């Protein structure tokens, strides 16, 4: 049976944490930290964490979750201090943190949590985050600071799902206004929101973990990756994530910058719509992925800065990751195309964009590799502005990227037949059955075997090429301190500081 969660901190970690808190105790917030975001959702950009257009680079600083990832990726308390399931893993009880306030001064209580989660799981609202927690059948307050979640079946990994970066807690009844106000309980509050321009955040003096070190954060909308880099190099920004790997050596040798290499479960690749010809034939889909030399693609796109994936979205360090190998086999790919009725190969348009500097490289590399099996790829360059609303899920084949998620969420959200953001329209009853069985299995080893089998099934049948997981390159100005080398979802923003 699932066990109640008890969080233990190692003595060294306790000492480090206390030291950091002590260093900020009594100090007034100071300095301005500036970084950019890519305006990927264009006019749909929003501060509503559950919406399609949420701007996570802002959301992460202004709103909190019940559960957040620790430095090692495991669930740690945030607005919930502890949690435990019943003997069947179907009913979970959460204790909400005492003394937390929203940016408007109102105290956090269980009703805010119920409202926030109920809104996400309501199918009529249509939140893309619903796929992560749709197993929650009912949520209710059982006290001022206690919440009970009843699931539609046993599920031992609910806390992992609640780490989803979109599952932020907002004030009860604020659904109509939060897209503009961004009110939450995070370390910074919104002063002005301008997705295309400069969004200004200021320190929230009542943040439950203590006064933030920074007085102000400016998040600037810059859609072009090269423009973002130039803004950083010219001193207009203090951070840029996703630096092109070819710049790593130049930046790491400079005394003006700090370069961090952070292994992640983030992935990018190519998506082929399985509901459109010729991709509706699983033999064609397998052929499209068999042609890829993943090592070569990784070297060209990221200068080797990643870990090979055999088309599984599950992170390399995830406990449920399947151990697979996937060498290129263009001869087998050509044979599969012939079996599917394409003895002379096929023609494919693949849409790429400079929204991510690695995407065009992936497109050209794929074009060259696919030609070995008679797959003639035409690389179509699409505008960065509004890419997610005009190309993604709209064109038959396109570049895509996803942030790190726990295994169950990654598999369900991108590939379950009922998932709202199943970008390729993949619908496979056996795959769905494996995921549903894994969620209900309380024995860890049996559950892991089911998730592994689901990934193996995906590798054989899906329409998504996931050649590698990304080692993220983050570059900082030399005036930034207390910025940990962890995935951005685990960063404690109230500790980050700058020196003049």
Question: What's the pLDDT tens digit per position in 432-478?
Answer: 999 999 988 888 899 999 999 999 999 999 999 999 999 988 999 99
What's the average model confidence in pLDDT over 240-265? 81
| Same-domain check for residues 175 and 303 | no
Can you list the positions of beta strands (E) in 294-365?
Answer: 306-308, 346-353
Q: What is the pLDDT of residues 294-304, one digit of tens each?
A: 999 999 998 88
Q: What is the pLDDT of residues 366-380, one digit of tens each?
A: 999 999 999 999 999
Cβ atoms of 149 and 180 within 8 Å: the answer is no
| Same-domain check for residues 156 and 304 | no
Q: What is the pLDDT of residues 108-155, one digit of tens each?
A: 999 999 999 999 999 988 898 888 898 999 999 999 999 999 999 888
| Same-domain check for residues 196 and 319 | no
Domain membership flag for residue 233: no
Q: List the end-to-end C-alpha distance of the chain, in Å, as a whole number.
A: 53
Q: What is the pLDDT of residues 15-63, one digit of tens each?
A: 444 444 444 555 899 999 999 998 878 888 999 999 989 999 999 999 9
Q: What is the CATH number of the domain that holds 54?
A: 3.40.190.10
User: How far, in Å, CA of 302 to CA of 191, rounded?
Assistant: 37
Domain membership flag for residue 243: no
Give me the pLDDT at residue 26, please: 56
Cβ atoms of 71 and 486 within 8 Å: the answer is yes
| Same-domain check for residues 151 and 287 | no
| Same-domain check for residues 322 and 463 | yes
> Is the pLDDT reported for residue 279 higher than 80?
yes
pLDDT grade for 487, boundaries at 50, 70 and 90:
confident
> Is the pLDDT reported for residue 317 higher than 90?
no
Task: Name the domain count of the chain.
Answer: 2
Give me the pLDDT at residue 15, please: 40
Domain membership flag for residue 77: yes
Closest CA to 155 of 451, 395, 475: 451
Give me the pLDDT at residue 8, please: 33
> Is the pLDDT reported for residue 252 higher than 90?
no
Q: What is the CATH number of the domain that holds 378?
A: 3.10.105.10
Domain membership flag for residue 158: yes
Q: What is the pLDDT of residues 173-217, one digit of tens each?
A: 999 999 999 999 999 999 999 999 999 999 999 999 999 999 999
Strand 346-353, strand 375-382: pairing:
parallel
pLDDT grade for 320, boundaries at 50, 70 and 90:
very high
Domain membership flag for residue 235: no
| Same-domain check for residues 449 and 488 | no
Give me the pLDDT at residue 97, please: 98
| Same-domain check for residues 218 and 272 | no
> Is the pLDDT reported for residue 262 higher than 90?
no
User: How far, in Å, CA of 416 to CA of 152, rounded?
Assistant: 17
Strand 397-402, strand 480-481: pairing:
unpaired
| Same-domain check for residues 401 and 467 | yes
| Same-domain check for residues 407 and 279 | yes
Give me the pLDDT at residue 303, please: 87
| Same-domain check for residues 65 and 149 | yes
The pTM of this model reads 0.72
DSSP 40-101: TTGGG-BS-TTSTTB-HHHHHHH--BSEEE-TTSSEEESSEEEEEE-TTS-EEEEEEPTT-B
Q: For the chain, what is the mean pLDDT?
A: 91
Cβ atoms of 110 and 142 within 8 Å: the answer is yes
Q: What is the pLDDT of residues 383-434, one digit of tens each?
A: 988 899 999 999 999 999 998 888 998 999 899 999 889 999 999 999 999 9
**Domain extent for 310:** 264-472
Cβ atoms of 66 and 167 within 8 Å: the answer is yes
User: How far, in Å, CA of 306 to CA of 294, rounded?
Assistant: 11
Domain membership flag for residue 241: no
User: How far, in Å, CA of 260 to CA of 266, rounded?
Assistant: 16
Q: SS3 for 32?
A: strand
H or E stretch including 188? strand 188-192
Q: What is the pLDDT of residues 77-91, one digit of tens each?
A: 999 999 999 989 999
| Same-domain check for residues 329 and 462 | yes
Helix, strand, coil in percent for the chain, rounding step 5: 30, 25, 45
Share of the chain above pLDDT 70, in %: 95
| Same-domain check for residues 209 and 338 | no
User: How far, in Å, CA of 365 to CA of 348, rounded?
Assistant: 14
Domain membership flag for residue 417: yes
> Is the pLDDT reported for residue 5 higher than 50?
no
Residue 182 CA from chain centroid, whole number: 20
Domain membership flag for residue 448: yes
């Amino acid at each position: 049976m699932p066990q109640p969660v008890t969080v233990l901190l190692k003595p060294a970690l306790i000492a480090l944490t206390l030291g950091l808190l002590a260093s900020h105790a009594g100090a007034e917030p100071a300095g301005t930290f500036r970084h950019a975001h890519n305006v990927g959702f264009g006019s749909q950009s929003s501060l509503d964490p559950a919406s399609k257009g949420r701007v996570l680079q802002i959301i992460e600083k202004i709103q909190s979750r019940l559960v957040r990832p620790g430095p090692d990726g495991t669930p740690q308390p945030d607005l919930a201090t502890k949690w435990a399931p019943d003997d069947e893993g179907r009913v979970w009880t959460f204790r909400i943190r005492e003394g937390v306030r929203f940016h408007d001064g109102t105290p956090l209580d269980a009703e805010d949590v119920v409202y926030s989660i109920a809104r996400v799981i309501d199918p009529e609202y249509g939140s893309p985050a619903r796929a992560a927690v749709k197993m929650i059948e009912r949520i209710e307050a059982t006290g001022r600071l206690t919440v009970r979640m009843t699931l539609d079946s046993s599920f031992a990994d609910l806390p992992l799902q609640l780490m989803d970066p979109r599952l932020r807690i907002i004030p009860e009844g604020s659904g109509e206004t939060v897209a503009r106000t961004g009110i939450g309980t995070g370390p910074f509050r919104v002063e002005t929101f301008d997705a295309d321009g400069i969004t200004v955040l200021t320190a929230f003096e009542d943040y439950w973990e203590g006064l933030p070190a920074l007085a102000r954060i400016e998040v600037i909308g810059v859609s072009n990756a090269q423009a973002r880099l130039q803004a950083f190099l010219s001193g207009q920004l203090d951070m840029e994530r996703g630096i092109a790997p070819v710049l790593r050596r130049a930046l790491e040798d400079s005394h003006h910058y700090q370069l961090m290499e952070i292994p992640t479960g983030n992935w990018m690749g190519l998506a082929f719509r399985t509901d459109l010809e010729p991709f509706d034939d699983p033999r064609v889909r397998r052929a499209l992925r068999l042609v890829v030399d993943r090592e070569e693609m990784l070297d060209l796109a990221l200068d080797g800065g990643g870990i090979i994936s055999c088309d599984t979205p599950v992170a390399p360090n995830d406990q449920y990751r399947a151990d697979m190998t996937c060498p290129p086999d263009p001869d087998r790919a050509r044979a599969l195309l012939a079996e599917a009725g394409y003895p002379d190969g096929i023609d494919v348009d693949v849409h790429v964009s400079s929204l991510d500097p690695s995407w065009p490289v992936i497109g050209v590399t794929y074009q060259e590799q696919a030609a070995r099996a008679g797959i003639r790829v035409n690389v179509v360059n699409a505008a960065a502005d509004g890419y997610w609303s005009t190309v993604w899920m709209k064109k038959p084949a396109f570049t895509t990227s996803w942030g790190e998620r726990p295994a169950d969420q990654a598999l369900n959200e991108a590939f379950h037949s009922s998932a709202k953001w199943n970008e390729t329209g993949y619908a496979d009853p056996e795959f769905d059955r494996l995921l549903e069985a894994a969620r209900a299995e309380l024995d860890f080893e049996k559950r892991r075997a089911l998730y592994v089998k689901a990934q193996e099934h995906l590798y054989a049948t899906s329409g998504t090429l996931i050649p590698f997981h990304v080692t993220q390159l983050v570059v900082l100005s030399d005036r930034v301190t207390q910025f940990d080398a962890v995935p951005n979802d685990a960063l404690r923003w109230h500790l980050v500081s700058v020196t003049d």
